[in-house]
Chain A
Amino acid sequence: MSSDLFVIPFNIGLYFILVYSVVRSTIWFRQLSRSDKLRLQRGFFGMPFMQSLKEIFMESLLHRKIFMRNPVLGYMHMSLAFGWFLLIVFGTIEADFFGEKHLNPPSHAIFFRYFNPDHGAAGLPKVFGFWMDLLLAFILSGLLLAMIKRFIPGLMGMKKTTKHTWTDRIALLSLWMIFPARLLAESLTSGAHGSGSFLTGNLGAQLASFLPVAELAPWFWWLYSLSLGTFFILLPVSRYFHIPVELLLIFMRNSGIRTGDKPSSLTEVQTHACSSCGVCISICQMSYAAGINDIQSAYFVKGLRNGKDIAAITANCLMCGRCEEVCPVGIELGPMRMIERRQGEREFKPMRFIDGYGLNGKKAPVEKDPTQSYGYLVRNEPVKADVIFFAGCMTHLTPSVIIAMKKIMDSAGVRYHFMDENGGVCCGRPLMLAGRDREARELINYNSDIIWRSGAGILVTSCPICYKIFNESYYLDTRVMHHSEFINHLIEEGSLRLGYLHRKVVYHDPCELGRGSGIYDEPREVISYVADLQPATQEGSMSLCCGGSLGNLTLSSGKRALIAADAAKILTSSAPDELITACPLCKKTLGQATETKVADIAELVAAALPGPKGRARVRTKKTLVRVHDNG
């Protein structure tokens, strides 16, 4: 059986990757927190397992999400993943049915044609042969698209494609070799034996007409086996590790494990689950509006995976969350980047090739400079009130918003205390976005103390940045409301009487309010109550970042202006009378980028308040609803 030696590279690769997968999964499992271990165990014996199987089928094999975003890219991923999967399944069944015996070693299924060169002449074997050829053709069509994507990304509707490391290149080369090698190996063998279906059979017959096919065939079986073996061995240190790891990620996610704020097994799994598909690159405003093409999530994750110094990439992100919204693998990219920011300054050590296999323990986090403190903050005596209004630092830079809010609350008869009227302490979110959680916590405690002692039932803020941290990181028994929610609440309870402004307006969802906090409907309800709200081209979960984001720690104002100009152009494409937003920072940033008037939702509502002469036609929300019901 010396001629069978060619299966050795394949076997080495296959058994290596199987053992490696078990070892690495075990390490990951052991590193999980106790509660996450329990979640995973429970998940394994419950519904999450079934959900995961479904998701694996839909996403890992069919690639539904990529398909919906870009059908050609989706077809490419699907043909390679689903095609290869079916080829393995069909091949195993074929080998099981028609092989020498049941329960063959995997190499007998993979190299079935070599071991059964005359197979498939008639009957059921012929049907199988046809299907195997069809699947191979399916995969090869996807491979062709992959090659086109690599060399001419524009043809695939991709603006950019990810750059590769050398291990990625070798892995890519071996992956690209697998199926053409199989095609040629099978065709040559079929040509020598007059067997094979429409693809391998015909190609084999053609080749046999002018080539010594029988002598050539073993060389291509060797190439096929070597490609597979190389691919498997390089798999853990290449981007293609995402193929098995994504399965694990789906299972962990469905079991209820979340990224949290510290590095964990899940962050490692997410790092490896990224397929570098590049969807996040095309969607990134930093890329298409500001021409910055090396900081997107795919590069961030790749740097993380390859142990590169990514401090600059980590800091240079708007944290707008658009990439997370479209990530086909569902990686929690925002929290992942925040974890990296929290690590702070640390010694950077380049990663060796062998470290890529990740079996040599974890890096110890370096303690940050512990000297900073906000001990000098004076504690003011809080004022008792039902409603606390916290404008926020950014709102203090847009006094028109504060004036509008005062008018609205006075008009509705709200008894409120303006907490930071004479200057307040920052909510802590900018520090948190910079990864300075401990310092942020000091400010959180300071503000919490004032809010608790005021005894207020509602905390209203005009700034979505404050809103997000009040909701997520403060321990309050106060209802936190963004002013758009609060105004909507005032309208609904009938305490705010408003006229109707005959203005065509477009609403811009601030990142921290929309994607960040899930507040999409209330602002729209308020706006359509007082004005003619027109749809925007990109809104809701895919709304744009204004460019002013506090999340980016290094972006220059010139680049910000480019992003703002692009966003403003898209938002005002329907030529509205006003562009309405609900964030002082968006208002400031967009206001400088367009000729269209940019106003906060509070300003719009304040303009709809009845004037001193009461000329505006005043309605309550009920009449509005009825008008809508009657068509």
Chain B
Amino acid sequence: MSTVTKHVVVAGGGVAGMEAAGALAELGHRVTLIEKEQKPGGHLKQWHALFPDRRPADDVRKYLSRRIDNRNIKLFTGISVEKVRKQGHDLHIELSDGSALTADAAIIATGFDLFDARRKEEYGYGIYDNVITSAGLEDMFNAGRITTADGRTPSRIGLVHCVGSRDEKVDNNHCSKVCCVTAVKQAIEVRQKLPSCEVFCFYMDMRMYGPYYEELYRESQEVHNVNYIRGKVSEASVNINNRLVVKVEDTLAGRPLRMELDMLVLMVGMEMSQAGTRLAEASALGRGINRFLETGDHHYGNNLGHVKGLFYAGTCTAPMNITDTISHARAAVTETVRYLTTR
């Protein structure tokens, strides 16, 4: 273990950044954690419960808060990292307030942005009141009230998978990985909170890749009576009663389907964050065709960039769930420490 204290800057105070900062501080390094929002926590702040076990998101939030509660960590909020540049052996890091830091190493953990559902205008987000996103549904869970815009309790809700993911039309060919299981989780939650409300999931494939996901999917059907319709929603409109009407092709039944709904939830995918894009462009960091940061090696170097001393953690490299994000952040810390002790 290194006995010399080094200074590491972590860009981004979401799940990956908090875990990385905590792990580095634990090892005795001086860490500056920089978060663009007023509070750390990233997207997790907005989430009510987590898949696959539907535990409260608060559990993980508390864990991460404890993780960064370390005197070796200096947290700056409301500031973002704008540029990273090699300066001799050190890294010169420019911040949005015009100041600059010098660090021995840095970890980029700028995370993801949720796909802006307005870009799929055909689904009517921002046009029809009762079209919301998966994040919006979490807000309702947090508020403890699932209602339509005019305050009614919905009797039928549709969940649209792959909004902004696996969609060539919006130049996103990648799968965001977590939306399928998020939909299953949210469908169950709706069924539990509103037992009289029917829930329909419109999917292309069910990608239940993680441990206990497939079991959750099974439970949603067997225990909670969630309906799954294989087919992409082509468009949404409203009828004269101000109810939503969606057009879907049921590809299993092989026929077009029109359905009236009270609420449509768009399972928005993950995209490279705008803050991360700015940082990558200013620092000339390579990016893949999915626009996320390109890593040095897909198999054994996916925390490495092309700048020595600069490491990547979490969803700035690809969509991933919280479990994988935390593992990825720890791996980034291992790479960072190896760099700091051997250079």
User: Which positions in A face B, CB cutoff 8 Å?
Assistant: 396-400, 402-403, 422-423, 557-558, 561, 588, 591-592
A400 to B127, CA, bound (A): 7
Interface of A is mostly: helix
Q: List chain A residues, Cβ under 8 A from B169.
A: 557
Given contacts A397-B235, A398-B122, contact A557 B168 (CB under 8 A): yes
Number of interface residues of B (CB under 8 A): 17
Q: Per-position contact with A for B141-172: 1 when CB-CB < 8 Å, else 0?
A: 00000000000000000000000000011110
Q: List chain B residues, Cβ under 8 A from A591.
A: 119, 121
Verify A399–B235 contact, CB threshold 8 A.
yes
Among candidates B119, B128, B170, residue contacting A399 with C-beta atoms closer than 8 Å: B128
Nearest residue, chain B, Cβ from A584: B121
Verify B289–A558 contact, CB threshold 8 A.
yes
A592 to B236, CA, bound (A): 20
Verify A399–B289 contact, CB threshold 8 A.
no
Can you list 9 residue pairs at the A/B interface with Cβ under 8 Å?
A396-B237, A397-B121, A397-B235, A398-B122, A399-B121, A402-B237, A588-B121, A592-B119, A592-B170
A-facing residues in B112-140 (Cβ within 8 Å) = 119, 121-122, 124, 127-128
Q: How many A-B residue pairs have CB under 8 A?
A: 36
A422 to B128, CA, bound (A): 17
Verify A396–B119 contact, CB threshold 8 A.
no
Shortest Cβ gap from B342 to chain A (Å): 39
Q: List chain B residues, Cβ under 8 A from A422.
A: 258
Shortest Cβ gap from A566 to chain B (Å): 15
Verify B168–A396 contact, CB threshold 8 A.
no
Nearest residue, chain B, Cβ from A397: B122
Verify A399–B237 contact, CB threshold 8 A.
yes
Nearest residue, chain A, Cβ from B118: A591
Verify A398–B171 contact, CB threshold 8 A.
no
Q: B247 on the interface (CB 8 Å rule)?
A: yes
Q: List chain B residues, Cβ under 8 A from A397.
A: 121-122, 235
A402 to B237, CA, bound (A): 10
Verify A399–B171 contact, CB threshold 8 A.
no
Verify A399–B127 contact, CB threshold 8 A.
yes
Verify A396–B235 contact, CB threshold 8 A.
yes
A33 to B124, CA, bound (A): 52
Verify A396–B127 contact, CB threshold 8 A.
no
Q: List chain A residues, Cβ under 8 A from B127.
A: 399-400, 403
A558 to B171, CA, bound (A): 6
Given contacts A399-B236, A557-B171, contact A423 B247 (CB under 8 A): yes
Nearest residue, chain A, Cβ from B119: A592
Q: Per-position contact with A for B210-248: 1 when CB-CB < 8 Å, else 0?
A: 000000000000000000000000011100000000010
A557 to B169, CA, bound (A): 6
Verify A400–B168 contact, CB threshold 8 A.
no
A361 to B41, CA, bound (A): 75
A423 to B122, CA, bound (A): 13
Shortest beta-carbon contacts, A-B, top 4: A397-B122, A557-B171, A557-B168, A398-B121
Shortest Cβ gap from B166 to chain A (Å): 12
A402 to B256, CA, bound (A): 22
A423 to B237, CA, bound (A): 11
Known: A397-B121, A399-B128, A592-B119; 9 extra A-B contacts, CB below 8 A, are: A396-B122, A398-B121, A398-B122, A399-B122, A400-B127, A423-B256, A557-B170, A591-B119, A591-B121
Q: List chain B residues, Cβ under 8 A from A398.
A: 121-122
A588 to B168, CA, bound (A): 14
A592 to B127, CA, bound (A): 17
A423 to B234, CA, bound (A): 11
Shortest Cβ gap from A380 to chain B (Å): 15
